[in-house]
Amino acid sequence: MKIEELRDRVPADFIEAALRQGIERLTPPQELAVESGLLEGKNIVIAAPTASGKTLIAEMGIIKAVVKDHRKAVYIAPMRALVSEKYSDFKKQYPHLRIAMSIGDLDSLDHWLAEYDIILASTEKLDSLIRHGADWLGSIGCIVIDEVHMLDDPGRGPTLEVLVSRLRRICKNAQFIALSATVGNANEIADWLKAGLIESDYRPVLLEKGIEFNSRVYYSEKEEELEGTHRIPEMRITQDTLEKGKQILLFYSTKRNTESGAEKLGDVVPRYLKESEKAELKELANRILHSLDRPTAQCEKLARDIEKGTAFHHSGLVNEQRRLIEDAFRAGMLKAICSTTTLGLGVNLPAHTVVVRDTTRYSEGEGSERISVNEVTQLFGRAGRPKYDKYGRALLIAKSRNEIEDLYNRYISAQLEPVVSKLGVLPILRTHILAFVATKFLTNEDSILGFLSETLYGYQYSSMSELRSITREVLTELANWGFVERKGSVYSTTRIGERVSELYIDPLSARWILDSLMKERDDIANLFMITNTVEMRPYMKPTDDAAEAFMHYQYMLNNTSVNYDSEELVFYDPIKPLSTALMLHMWVNEITEQDLTKAYSTTPGAIFAKITNADWLLYAAAELGKLARVNTRPLLELRIRMKYGIKKELTDLVRLQQVGRVRARLLYSNGIRGVSDLRKEDSPAIVERLFGKELSLRILEQVKTL
């Protein structure tokens, strides 16, 4: 079907945007969606491979709802990076529509969203908006749920499941469009959503799946000798890929393996680089190197790799570094990326060849475990770039001839696993049940159970006896903690319980913080208070310093409502959160990122993730402290110090824009101890000497208004 044939059925905005992208015909899944009632507002689940055109299906529904039906449209994705990518795409294609992105502050109602036509939000943010009582939800005409197979994810899945179930109740007349990778039970997800199912194996680029062993690739019906001379499998595959003038993605199980892989590939890739590319890569390496105030050893390692046309990519990088690497790979500048499996989800970063080197990984509690068929299939989906490749190649690596058949049967010819709800456990339900009561959405046991029966968990496990038992246990726990009250059969939240729900923190964390607020605390105790929470997991590795300090801070664990002997905390080790607290204490005492990464054998990305979480939890602790009527000034002051990584004496100076930890310390060391000192006669000369004329003028101009 040609796009032009839809002119009478969809707004011209969509037709023109599609044609500008060079899209003239619908793909088979897109055509099936139209035939199945997409443009008549019917709910649809699309289960199809990467690059099959799922996003355009969602786009049709969104633009029809906004332009033709004059309703709002909401796009939900489980990862912030994916929301940001889709936001950029929509802004580019539809600049005249009012498009907003909301992925930030979880304690904000964001009233301004009411003025927008298309709202792109992360799962947690939209869930938070519902908790805060957003009043524009009733005007939604189309809801797109991207990566709906993430319902199976133990971390993100339950929140997505509850969110979708709530939206089905709140937005009764909205169209639901769920996008999924191919999964083993797409029909079950469609039945749950009361939606039509579009299942397709269509790919615009043929995907060849095979097993590499001893420099040969074994496909189902043929074999291939790899070009090159290297004996290490991933090096040989990379040589072969670059000989074809193509790019490669290699997936590893650990951050360390990605870094080692990228370094090794630095011996192979440079000979395939043009002189112009080498110059561009040198400039990119310099930007990567200086993404932080002071380069760390990891920054230096990454910059060296990038100059050679390779890179590693994992959660230990800061956001700016990840963005630069992704953009450079899309532009063809970088030839090879070694990544953890996180890059296989979310952002669109295809390559001609994909290698999944590791099919096992280690997890705390489970030990070594095989990755799923679904995950390998998702990673394989990155192979083959529309408009660039006639075919994509996705490979596993066998360590022996006997393993070739095993890997093929286990991952290539195997059936995909079904998506299974992860909702039905106490810690997960605790957070959501409190939110139900706090928003007066559900206020008694029967209504809660009625709602849970509408979730995917309720659909898959029709017996509600276990859910009833868990629900009662949760309600009793929340009442014992002082977060809910019961009158007859009706539950309501206390003021503090309502605030806990709004703050979007686990009630277990909130109870621990409230108990801790009643104790004597110094900076380290305050930091231990926020790091010993669910939200701060995974913790830093335990250190000898933390084990020694625990003797002084173990009193924090006494007289608390939290049961540290419970099955839920079976792997709990207080030295780990205390170690995390000591790392943050070093940060607020102006220890550099470079020294922190060495001291804790960690990465800049991991450090900044902890700093971001600490900022949020210090805010939440201060908000709870107000209700508990304790002095919150030390927490608010510590929050400022956490944001900038500074000692107490610099908190006044960082009120100035363009003044962070380094410049504030320079000012302080040169006699300017606070903003008021900048009003002294000799200050302009000092500031200009330190920072130059232009920056000094910008800094001094602010003094007039402070």
pLDDT (tens digit per residue) in 154-192: 888 999 999 999 999 999 999 999 999 888 999 999 999
- pLDDT of amino acid 147: 92
Is 629:518 a contact under the CB 8 Å cutoff?
A: no
3-state secondary structure of 89: helix
- How confident is the prediction for the chain on average, in pLDDT? 93
Give, in order, the Cα–Cα distances in Å from 329 to each of 236, 276, 336, 601: 20, 15, 8, 28
On the 0-12 / 13-18 / 19+ scale of CB atoms within 10 A, 453 is middle
In this structure, is the dihedral angle defined by the CA atoms of residues 80, 85, 86 and 87, taken in order, positive or negative?
positive
Q: Using DSSP bridges, classify how beta strands 391-397 and 310-313 pair: parallel, antiparallel or unpaired.
A: unpaired
- Which stretches of the chain drop beneath a pLDDT of 50? none
3-state secondary structure of 291: coil
Question: For residue 390, what are the contacts with CB-CB under 8 A and spacing of at least 6?
Answer: 205, 206
- pLDDT of amino acid 81: 83
Residue linked to tokens 């029966």? 453
Question: For residue 19, what are the contacts with CB-CB under 8 A and spacing of at least 6?
Answer: 3
Give, in order, the Cα–Cα distances in Å from 659 to each of 384, 595, 642: 46, 22, 15
* DSSP designation for 400: S
Q: What pairs with residue 143 in β-bridges? A: 74, 176
Global pTM exceeds 0.75: yes
Q: How many residues does the chain have?
A: 706
Residue linked to tokens 């990379």? 238
CA distance 180 to 342: 17
Q: Where are the alpha helices (DSSP H) in 153-254?
A: 157-170, 186-192, 233-243
- pLDDT of amino acid 452: 94
- pLDDT of amino acid 570: 58
Ramachandran area for residue 330 (φ above 0: left; ψ -120 to 50: alpha; else beta): alpha
Structural domains for the chain: 3-199 (3.40.50.300), 206-412 (3.40.50.300), 426-494 (1.10.10.10), 505-645 (1.10.3380.30), 650-705 (1.10.150.20)
Give, in order, the Cα–Cα distances in Å from 287 to each of 278, 331, 345, 464: 14, 16, 25, 56
CA distance 541 to 407: 34
Q: Considering just the CA atoms, what is the radius of gyration of the chain in Å?
A: 27
DSSP per position, 585-649: HHHTTT--HHHHHHHTT--HHHHHHHHHHHHHHHHHHHHHHHHHT---HHHHHHHHHHHHT--GG
- pLDDT of amino acid 696: 93
Count CA atoms within 13 Å of residue 702 on its CB side. 15
Q: Calculate the dihedral angle through the C-alpha atoms of 67, 68, 73, 75, rounding to the nearest 10 degrees.
A: -80
- pLDDT of amino acid 281: 97
